[in-house]
A and B are shown apart, each in its own frame.
Chain A
Amino acid sequence: MTNKSNWGSKLFFVTLLVVLVFFWWLLIYSGGAGHHG
């Protein structure tokens, strides 16, 4: 039960992780690894 009541913080940190992965993908990885041009 105490685990369940922490779902808010878990939600936040999971979202944070997802956001960071998203930006890593968008800024670094997308279109193929490494830099183009």
Chain B
Amino acid sequence: MNPLRYHPVRSIWRRLLPAVMVAAIGLSVGEFPSVAAAASQGAEQQVTSVGGDGVKNESRALSLPAPKPKRSDYPSIGTSSRAVVWIIAQMHLFFGALVLAVPIFVLVIELIGFKTDDDRYDDMAHEFMKVSLTAYAITALFGGTLALCLFLLYPDFMTYMTRVFGSQMLVYAVLFFLESLLLYIYYYGWNALRYGNRKWVHLTLGLLLNAVGTTLLVVANSWSTFMMAPSGIDPATGAVTGSIWEIMKGPLWNPLNLHRFIANIAFGGAVVGAYAAFKFLAAKTPAEKAHYDWMGYTSNFIAILAFLPLPFAGYWLMAEVYAYSQQMGILAMGGILAWLFVIQAVLICTILLAGNYYLWTGMARTEGGERYRWLIKYIAVVLVLGFLVWVTPHNIIYTGGEVARLGGGNHPVLGPLGIMPAKNIAVFLMLIFTFLSFQLYRRADKVITVAWQNWGNALMVAIYIVACANVIFAGVYYGYFTNTVYKVGSSVLQVASTAVVIVSGVVIDTLMFKGAKPLPVYWGKVSDRSQYALFALPVAFTWLMALMGYIRSSMRTHWHVYAVMKDNSPDNFIPPLQTVGNMVTAATLLFLVFVIFIFWIANLSDTKQVPPATDGKFVPAESAA
């Protein structure tokens, strides 16, 4: 019995800390209902209270209609206000996504490290958090600048938004205090809270950090979704009629919450993957190379794993947009914004190709990878064909002569490939085959020993075949043999089939890997070329994120708040594609610059300058003979 275990100071601390933690949790959780309830009750009370002169004083502000600014009411700083807000908002979104996402998978990695008692995981998690910390400051800088720009350049719009959201915006501000507190304790307390119960405390802090971060995400999301599909207001005038919950919980809120939550994780994984790739290329020792190779693999795994369910979340979001306003939905995918979805095809195929390529080259790390090499070319074929189908437009603007030669408005062969069902078939097959790459990779470093492995493999193959058949059949039948309005129905079967492949693949593999004989994995033994896949991934992700964010924003057309507050600014038009390309590219390049800065800072914090010679007797190591 170690008397130190019962050291008085420690036991007091042990008794106090849980109480403090519970109080902190209670405060943070209890705070929201009370603050939010106050906000909502306040809103309702305000509407019904009567002032001294019999007039409803406080409610007057809420019952004001949405402002109707004329063009001359918009301030101008000599350049396009939209361009300024666009870049700054996009930068804030990039960094916000990063700093919300990294703690999510850091927590998971930390847990894995704790469970497997493997220091590598813990060290990697700690290193990821270092990157996140610098990014956090940049997020705040862009957030503050964004707020200033919005109030400066769109004062009437911000008057309306602050009137609608009221004290919910203060909740957002308060959450940042909590986020900062938790972030600093989580990062700087890493080594102090390293083992045993303290480690659990650390994990709890990480969990709370993620909870606050996610709350920040959904609060900010409500502003975007309100602008697209306003709720809780009088549709004719814009006057506030509902509680803050009715305002926040519009039809697009939860779809956007889910989509951004998952996409953030994918994006965060991709960015730290670039960090790992950079460190791999700069590594001097085999140990370092092995460490960063492994880190890169883990990042890619996170990115692709989170990427796979994204199309489903995106589908839900678009379905809700269509349900809210057919017009808005059609504008996005069948109207003037439709070309952007063809560009999206290019981006996602880059992502899939990069992710797959990294997995394929990674199979060279193990001897077991040889077995599966023959499958790679088939996966590549599916990916390339899928890309070609996806990128085929339904129609383009032909000249009269071209129409005559075509014999109609659409190309007889390519026309049918241009509609959604063909693209759905392409996308879901690509996802299924990407998952196949995953499965092959996971099998490459082990020899399966369970007795039923032949049955298990046969079952897996059958599931793949059935899923692919379903995807193709559903797409062809619903797409080409039924009425337009039923096309959407095809997606359900395709989604379900893909989901079954992924879920059953994970389950079957987990069972089949029990007791498997591990093969040696030579971390660090990959080509430098493979690391470029880890650069391509975040670059494509970033550009794609800016592109999709533009689509989401542009769907509102000439409305600040759709159908409620008209946009009369000089920039109230949908810009041509080149402008969009320029802006998205500018934001991506700017992000690249800042990310390099972050990597450099991370590197800098590890650098120790060699102390200079003091009395001439000290001989620096480099100059030793």
Contact = CB atoms under 8 A, between A and B. Distances in A.
A/B: CB atoms within 8 Å of each other: yes
Interface of A: 5-9, 11-12, 15-16, 18-19, 22-23, 25-27, 30-32, 35-37
Given A18-B25, A22-B32, A11 B204 contact: yes
A16 B196 contact: no
A12 B203 contact: yes
A23 B28 CA distance: 13
Contacts of B231: 36-37
B40 to A, nearest CB: 7
Contacts of B218: 26-27
Given A6-B197, A16-B207, 4 more contacts: A18-B29, A30-B36, A31-B249, A37-B242
A32 to B, nearest CB: 7
Contacts of A7: 14, 18, 197, 200
Contacts, number: 76
B199 A15 contact: no
A15 B14 CA distance: 17
11 contacts: A11-B201, A11-B204, A12-B207, A15-B207, A22-B211, A30-B36, A30-B245, A30-B249, A31-B245, A36-B231, A37-B229
B249 A5 contact: no
A36 B245 CA distance: 8
A interface secondary structure, majority? helix
A9 B210 CA distance: 18
Contacts of B245: 30-32, 36
A11 to B, nearest CB: 5
B200 A27 contact: no
Given A11-B21, A15-B25, A36 B242 contact: yes
Nearest to B226: A37
B588 interface: no
Contacts of B210: 19
Contact of B232 (A5, A19, A37): A37
A19 B211 contact: yes
Contacts of A26: 32, 215, 218
B257 A27 contact: yes
Contact of B249 (A11, A12, A35): A35
B249 A15 contact: no
A11 B25 CA distance: 11
B198 interface: yes
B554 interface: no
Interface in B14-55: 14, 18, 21, 25, 29, 32-33, 36, 40
Q: How large is the interface on B (under 10, 10 to 19, 20 to 34, 35 or more residues)?
A: 35 or more
Nearest to B254: A27
B197 A15 contact: no
A8 B232 contact: no
A27 B14 CA distance: 35
Interface in B475-531: none
Interface in B223-268: 229, 231-232, 242-246, 248-251, 254, 257
A24 B364 CA distance: 44
Contacts of A25: 33
A7 B14 CA distance: 10
Nearest to B211: A19
Given A19-B207, A22-B29, A35 B251 contact: yes
Contacts of B200: 7-9, 11-12
A37 B204 contact: no
B254 to A, nearest CB: 6
A37 B207 contact: no
A27 B244 CA distance: 13
Given A15-B204, A32-B245, A8 B250 contact: no
Contacts of B33: 25
A31 B246 contact: yes
Interface in B181-207: 196-201, 203-204, 207
A11 B21 CA distance: 8
Nearest to B198: A8
Among A30, A32, A35, max chain B CB count under 10 A is at A30
B258 to A, nearest CB: 9
Contacts of A36: 231-232, 242, 245-246, 249-250
A1 to B, nearest CB: 10
Contacts of B353: none
B349 interface: no
Contacts of B207: 12, 15-16, 19
Contacts of A30: 36, 245, 249
Interface in B252-293: 254, 257
A12 B200 CA distance: 6
B208 interface: yes
Contacts of B14: 7
A19 B210 CA distance: 10
Contacts of A18: 25, 29
In the A-B complex, the 10 residue pairs with the closest CB atoms? A31-B245, A8-B200, A37-B231, A8-B197, A19-B211, A36-B246, A12-B204, A12-B200, A15-B204, A37-B250
